Structure 1
Amino acid sequence: MPPGWYRLTYDAHHSSGDGLFVPKIYPLNALEKDLSFQITFPKGYGSNNAVTRFLKRKQKQAKQSKDHSALSEARKTEDQLTKPNDTPAVTDSDKSTVSSASDDHKTTDTFILCSSDVTTPTVPVINLRPHLPGQTQHLFRYGFEPKGFRFDPFELDHPKTRQPFIGAFQLNDFRLTFLGVIPFLIFSARQAIYRAGRGERLRRAQIALQLLKKKGKTALMSWLGHKAYLKIQPPFSPTTWYKFFCDPNCFDANRTDWVEDLTVQPSFSLFLFVGESGPKLLSDTVNSVLCQSYSKVELSIVTTSSSQSEVIQQANLLAKKHTNIRVMRCEYEDFRQALDKDKSDFICLIESGDRLRPHAVARLASALSSDGTDLAYADEVILTTSGRRIHKVVLRPAFCLDHFLNHPCIGLMTAIRRELLTTGEALTDCTSVEILNERLILDALISAQKIVHIPDLILERLSPSTAPSARRLPASSISKFLKNHAFMDATVRPTSNPGLYSIRYNNPLPGKTAIIIPTKNHHEILQIAVDSLTRTVPKELYDLVVVNHESDDPNTVAYLHEIAEVHRVVDYQGVFNFSKINNFAVTQLDGAYDSFLFMNNDVQAINAGWFESMRDKLGRKEVGIVGAVLLYPPDSKAKGVGVIGDAGAFDPSERLSDQAGSHSETQEVTLLADLPKCKSQHAGVHLGVGVAEHYLKFEQYQKSYLAGPGLNPAMPNLVTRSFSAVTAACMMTRADIFKKLSGFDEELTVGFQDVDLCLRAGNEGYKVLCDAEAILFHHESVSRSTDDFLERDPHPQDTSNFRSKYEHDIGRDPFYHPMLANTTPQYRPLRSIQQGQFLSGRVVTNLALQPYRTQAD
């Protein structure tokens, strides 16, 4: 193989639904077995081309030195590749890989492969661009040994995927084409300049000439190679993911069977608010409505006093041209008048610039066909202001009223049954289409029976230009809604994160809460937990019950005697069974408490208010269980101890010894300052990854309530909302519910007893919430490898029992989107999507807000 530019093409497929191809080219000495394949050389450029000269030169060298070794060739290649302006022509979009080039026109991303068990010298490795399944092509500059190279479609060390590929893959039509100077210039100039578009061609041609003049041929070819590679194989991004999703081979948006079997096809009125937008945005939205595969759709273009005269004129022309389009003048606060004149079954709000996918209304009609379903919403993508790239993919969970009140989890193009909006108060608090949409949904929720979420991307929206606070109902409107549901003392407070509200229902549980902590040995861990409770929880709100499971460490025994003077310590004898231990503790309380908090001995409270927040949520009749957000401490490195405490390898007191007995506000501020450095350990439990997994596990903690917007715009806001389950490392429930459910299932001795309890509570009609304002440290190891977490099972018997009991629920969690990864706790969309994964909607019964006890009591 001569050094130079190559074009590699193939058709890639794999058996996994979540695999990303991350190809690399290694030197031949990294190959376990010699392989041979044909290289295509362009023809028609004469006999004195680069290939012919290269082959003649190598034949001559072979005669002079028959013992020519791959080792010397590799060293020579390394020297060549480290020369200025002469780096391999490959670009990698992943910033985690170390780059070897600093030039603005670099087209290479290489790193040095150096392993202790490899005897060969360090050599460069060419990173090709990660890609999804399908037709793929790469462009790179090769400089390794002439015998060939190793091509690995999933890379050897998988640092970018965070999860090794498991399954079968296939590469078809694998073709490698050498591009000499002239073929390369023709190919790259066509891709980089000609296909750039009219407005960009001249600018890029000028750049190419400037590079050739000032930096020479090598710089020009590197720049052309970089731009051409970007064109033929764009970096993996939300834009490429969405393009892959919209491919008919992945999802056929033109299919008509969504509504073929419906006995009654509901009618829809789409209200398109023009606002201050221009004619182009209006045309884009109208065209997307006219292309709907569902026929029973009417479009009302709504103009306001701020609308441009040119847009109003265009709207009138569209109404004359199409019989299903009408134009009306209506301000946001007067929208009820428009609703009174409408005769459709369901209404949806959109605005200029929104683009509906062809099957959008058909999906809504299909989901709303069942009896009692009054609201339906789906997912969307947020485009950049240019409308060419995807800024964010919004994948929503099943409906939760807490989520909606804290932070609107439902956007535009939500179908609302019109009958639910015939009466209501004036819309004086509505100043934008988003606020109007939120207000109409809030009004409909008063009487709505069922809400369905459709796991499908049906709407494309431009990034909003207004502040989040200008797109939300004022806090006073949410407070009024709560007062209408008998929470007369409820407070709604805006947070420092615009558009996010902190809500207190102020209908707390009566009496104290019993905090139950099982423990064995390792008194220093228990002491941190106990002291953090003393520091953060008012003593009149709780009694502490420590369950001693056969501790035999003298220091632990002494500490238990010490705290027994203030708190209650009960002894439990027998084989470790987490369910039995906690059930036993409850029986020792003789019904003296209305609520329990089950807590691990390695959990540490951070700041005051978390306990009151959890009790506040549990003061609602429809809420059965409340969990907390648990974080790994900022420097968590050692192995976890857990409840049993027999590992002995982890001692959090090394870092937190100064915290024991400290009740100062300074300590609390210090702990809060550490939060941006922490990773999430638990923010709810879902049945979408493995058997059951923690939501956002290992992800950087996003301080939704405490500070400004999260660090990662692609991450969802971490707010209080429903989950299928929460962990018993910090779980609060009422005594009557715990008794009704007969406590923890003692057949589950070590694992899943908390998930099982929550699922049974959900089956009884209770909500399970994870309180995002209750934040604690969980001193469990964050350094445990995530590579084999699906295969690593510390309690196989419990897993088998749980799986057989909930086989129809695993993988079908309504609060975990089916398009999210199912092989890793990492929050990201699936890399490969099959249409059957998200055909059915997730229906949630609207559980009305109810105080557990009336405030008159």
Structure 2
Amino acid sequence: MKFKKAVMLGMGAAANPRRTARRVKFHRRRRQVNRDRRTSYQNWFKEYEKSANEHQEQAKAVATFGKKPLISIILPIYNTNHLHLRQCIQSVIDQSYDNWELCVADDASTTNPLAVVKELGAGSGKIKWVRSDKNQHIAGASNEALKLASGEHIALLDHDDLLLPNALFEAVQAINENPKSDLIYSDEDKVEDGKGHSDPFFKPDWSPDFLKSCNYVTHFAVMRRSTVEAIGGFRIGTEGAQDWDLFLRLTAKTKNIYHIPKVLYSWRKSPTSTAKTAKSKPYAYINQLRVLRDAAAAKKQPYSVLESRYKGFWRINYHIQGSPLVSIIIPTKDNYRHIKTCLESIIENTTYPNFEVIIVDTGSKDKQTLDFYKSRLVSANPVKVVGWKKTFNFSGACNLGASKSRGQYLLFLNDDTSVITHKWIENMLEHAQRDEIGMVGCKLLFPNDHIQHAGVILSERDIAFHPFYGLDPGLDIFSNIFISNIRNCSAVTAACSMISRQKFEKVGGFDEALAVTYNDVDLCLRLLKAGYFNLYTPYAEVYHYESASVGKITTPDRDKKELLAAQELMRERWLELLKRDPFYNDNFIQHGPGYQLKTV
């Protein structure tokens, strides 16, 4: 049997030489992309590290702080490599901000790591320690370390990781700027013996849906001690996911959350760390599932937790309430081929039963298009055609379609699209039904399955841009974190987006002063201003042939006067947000193509 299987596998490979060659080429390209990203980051880090070590400048700044709180650093240890522990504690001693204490809890180690702790703490009075007689695992050990803390704020540190010298300085500066903050988190990277720093994680500001997809807060985290104690500290039985569990419970109680867009923490890649391999702690993934389910139960939220394709990342699947009517609104003009393909894909590929289609024709004269409106595909399905009689105005056409529709939820769709995911409506509706969510956007793909849209980023220069435009989603591991997970973003494209009618009408619908360009971004920013989160989901996929009707912004036949006027209006309204998108990161160049490191 083994011989037959080997022969069959060999025949299969031989039968598909082109496919094999494509896969080999793809993996080579992916390795090169990630090598280039690593090299780029290491060059960037060399310059960044200089500013992180500016102790004198940081000391001068500390002298001006109104608050100089004691920071209690929580450090559970267990059979830690002595050299790594020494480096870890030394990174605390080397902090430019010196009002700290290190609270160490030895979880019944057998290799005497406390010897290192006692040696480095001798005579300083800044390092406390306790040793358990019985192994309690990391949640219990963390609680023992927490009992030692006397600071107003606590910070979390793993026993072989490193703090950058400016970590506490930046945290205390943030506390002074945001004195009510209950949780402060920073960007991070990884460090490996002999290989230096790599794998940076440049994070967005507070993104509650991203936190339910993955523990993006993780390192470096500083919390108000009274808030942590009020929720009961670390929960026993959540080992490997105890930090994530703490963040989920804490953020359910407070919205005073602040992000420091600087790398302040290096997570060590070691054989026993998930920084090195997801397989090192299989129990962690079992407990991740548990803490996400418990978070749903605590808030009485009707959702299921589903595994994603990638270890450590999850999908929160909210349960749809009832079966509300969804109105799909499609503006079009003289575009028979696209509108026919679009409508066929909706009728054939949609599993959600309760929808209607409103085609807003903006002045078609083409006989084939007009005949199509009389065809059986239109007449035999819940499809209505309404006419926009004025000069073309995308915002006006969408508003007209909304006014002529009956649905409780509005799904705006370009005519040059084709449905891929059968549950595309369900996978957007589950979020549009949530009280806190404004506009929901989906993953748009080009016909070659490369990314067209996975959320929009704001820019003072560009107004808005698609950061992953044209990218093969499997090529870049870092980009895939954002492409493959549900997360909040400042804006999504109206090429395919859903919103409840009530929220749409509350903020005034699309602004017809933005006739062609940026009307979707403007609507999303008004929702953001009204207190809603906009959301991107990768679980609704649609092909987009992109601006087949009006052309791309860069095409010669687009109205440049309209474009320039729209840009000027957007800068007048939204300049502060355009200067800094809260769901992007300050370390990246603030214009397209996106996710490229700035020069330090």
TM-score (norm 1): 0.60
Q: Which amino acid aligns with 1:396?
A: K
- Of residues 566, 570, 585, the one that matches 1:802 is 570
Amino acid at match of 1:522: N
* Letter of the 1:382 counterpart: K
CA distance change for structure 1 residues 628 and 258 in 2, over 3 Å: closer, same or farther? farther
**How many angstroms does 1:552 deviate by?**
1.1
Aligned partners of 2:552 and 2:462: how far apart in 1? 19
Residue 9 of structure 2 aligns with which residue? none
Match of 2:258 in 1: 452
Secondary structure of 1:727's counterpart equals coil
Q: CA deviation at 1:682?
A: 1.1
| Structure 1 CA distance for aligned equivalents of residues 555 and 98 of structure 2 | 49
Say which of 445, 450, 457 aligns to 1:686: 457
Letter in 2 for 1:378: S
- The yes-or-no answer on 1:282 pairing with 2:85 is yes
1:17-63 CA distances to partner (integer Å, 9 max, x unpaired)? xxxxxxxxxxxxxxxxxxxxxxxxxxxxxxxxxxxxxxxxxxxxxxx
User: In 1, distance between residues paired with 2:384 and 2:583?
Assistant: 38
Match of 1:318 among 94, 107, 120: 120
Measure how far apart 1:805 and its partner are.
1.7
After superposition, give the CA deviation of every residue in 1:435-485 in whole Å (9 maximum; x if it has no partner): 222122122112223111111111122222342655454312211211221
Cα distance in 2 between the residues matched to 1:779 and 1:263: 56
Contact 1:509 1:616 in 2 (8 A): no
The match for 1:442 among 229, 235, 248 is: 248
Alpha-carbon offset, residue 284 of structure 1: 0.9
Counterpart of 2:415 in 1: which secondary structure?
Answer: coil
- 1:381 is aligned to 189
Aligned length: 542
Q: What's the CA shift for 1:579?
A: 0.7
For residues 301-316 of structure 1, what are the structure 2 equivalents within 5 Å?
A: 301-305=104-108, 307-316=109-118
Q: Does 1:748 align with 2:514?
A: yes
The unaligned stretches of length 5 or more in structure 1 are: 1-94, 97-159, 162-234, 635-677, 703-709, 834-857
- RMSD after superposition: 2.8
Query: Does the alignment pair 1:351 with 2:158?
Result: yes
Residue deviations 1:780-820, cap 9 Å, x none?
289989999xxx99722211211222222212111111111
Pair 1:515-2:328 in alignment: yes
- Structure 2: how far apart are the matches of 1:509 and 1:754? 28
Specify the code of the residue in structure 2 equivalent to 1:681. Q
Q: Secondary structure at the match of 1:517?
A: strand
Counterpart of 2:175?
368
Q: Deviations over 1:79-128 (max 9, x none)?
A: xxxxxxxxxxxxxxxx99xxxxxxxxxxxxxxxxxxxxxxxxxxxxxxxx
Q: Map of 1:406-555 to 2, 5 A cutoff?
A: 406-424=213-231, 427-432=235-240, 435-463=241-269, 464-467=275-278, 470-472=283-285, 473-487=287-301, 489-508=302-321, 510-538=323-351, 540-555=353-368
Number of the residue aligned with 1:557 = 370
Shift of 1:577: 0.5
Distance (whole Å) between structure 2 residues aligned to residue 532 and residue 694 of structure 1 = 27
What's the counterpart of residue 18 of structure 2? Answer: none
Name the aligned partner's letter for residue 304 of structure 1. D
- Give the Cα–Cα distance (whole angstroms) in 2 for the partners of residues 361 and 716 of structure 1: 31
Q: CA, structure 1 residues 386+341, in 2 after alignment: closer, same or farther (shift >3 Å)?
A: closer
Give 3-state SS (helix, strand or coil) of 2:411's partner: strand
- 1:422 partner SS: helix
Note the C-alpha offset of 1:618: 1.5
Which residue matches 2:20? none
Deviation at 1:254, TM superposition (A): 4.8
Question: 1:325 is matched by which residue type in structure 2?
Answer: I
Q: Distance in 2 between matches of 1:547 and 1:453?
A: 43
**Contact kept in structure 2, 1:492 and 1:504, CA below 8 Å:** yes
Which residue does the alignment assign to 2:583? 815
Change (3 A) 1:294 1:413: same
Cα distance change of structure 1 residues 622 and 480 upon mapping to structure 2, 3 Å threshold: same
How far off its partner does 1:506 sit?
0.7
**In the alignment, which residue of structure 2 is the partner of 1:587?**
403
Question: CA 1:695/1:373 → structure 2, altered by over 3 Å: closer, same or farther?
Answer: farther
Provide the secondary structure at the position in 1 that maps to 2:478.
coil
2: CA distance, partners of 1:316 / 1:255: 31
Distance (whole Å) between structure 2 residues aligned to residue 288 and residue 787 of structure 1: 53
Q: How far apart are the structure 1 equivalents of 2:462 and 2:571? A: 7
Name which of 26, 38, 62 aligns with 1:259. Answer: 62
How many Å separate the matches in 1 of 2:53 and 2:490? 28
Q: State whether residues 444 and 541 of structure 2, in contact with CA within 8 Å, keep that contact through their aligned partners in structure 1.
A: yes
Stretch moving more, 680-689 or 468-477: 468-477
Report whether the alignment pairs 1:297 with 2:105: no
Is the contact between residue 416 and residue 444 of structure 1 (CA under 8 Å) also seen in structure 2? no
**Equivalence for 1:853:** none
Judged with a 3 Å threshold, the aligned counterparts in structure 2 of structure 1 residues 341 and 350 are, in CA distance, closer, same or farther, namely closer
* SS of match in other structure, 2:57: coil
Whether contact under 8 Å (1:679, 1:700) holds in the other structure is yes
Q: Which of 692, 695, 712 is the equivalent residue of 2:476?
A: 712
- Write the letter of the residue equivalent to 1:766: Y
Aligned 8 A contact 1:412 1:437 in 2: no
The residue aligned with 1:157 is none
Equivalent residue for 1:762?
Answer: 528
Asked whether the 8 Å contact 2:352–2:426 carries over to 1, the reply is no
Deviation at 1:611, TM superposition (A): 1.4
Any idea what the Cα deviations from partners look like across 1:475-509, whole Å, max 9, x if unmatched?
Answer: 1221121122121x421012231111111121436
Offset from partner CA, 1:704-735 (integer Å, 9 cap, x none): xxxxxx43233350211111111111111111
AA at the equivalent of 2:237: D
Q: From 605, 608, 624, give the equivalent of 2:438.
A: 624
Q: Does 1:400 align with 2:214?
A: no
Pick closer, same or farther for the CA change 1:509–1:809 going to 2, 3 Å.
farther
Q: Which structure: larger Rg?
A: 1
Q: Which structure dedicates a bigger proportion of its chain to helix?
A: 2
Other-structure match for 2:592: 824
What is the letter of the counterpart of residue 447 of structure 2?
P
1:132 corresponding residue in structure 2: none
What is the rounded CA distance, in whole Å, between the counterparts of 2:64 and 2:354 in structure 1?
Answer: 57
Residue aligned with 2:490, SS:
coil
Maintained 8 Å contact 1:689/1:821: no
What amino acid maps onto 1:445 in structure 2?
A: T
Tell me the equivalent position of 1:607: 421
Q: Is the 8 A contact 2:74 2:145 kept in 1?
A: no
2:116 alignment partner, SS class = helix
Hey, what's the Cα distance between the residues in 2 that align with 1:301 and 1:569? 69
> Percent identity, aligned pairs only?
24
Moved more, 693-702 or 719-728: 693-702
Change in 2 beyond 3 A, CA 1:528/1:738: same
Q: Are the aligned partners of 2:463 and 2:570 in contact in 1 as well (CA < 8 Å)? A: no
Secondary structure of the structure 2 residue equivalent to 1:621? coil
Give 3-state SS (helix, strand or coil) of 1:323's partner: coil
Cα deviations across residues 259-309 of structure 1 (Å, max 9, x unaligned)?
33332222211122333431111111111101111122111223224x452
Bigger CA drift: 574-583 or 471-480? 471-480
Output the CA distance in 2 between the equivalents of 1:692 and 1:251.
Answer: 35
Q: Is the 8 A contact 2:306 2:316 kept in 1?
A: yes
| Counterpart residue number, 2:502 | 736
- Partner SS, residue 758 of structure 1: helix
Q: In 1, distance between residues paired with 2:341 and 2:487?
A: 29
User: Which amino acid counterpart does residue 513 of structure 1 have in structure 2?
Assistant: V
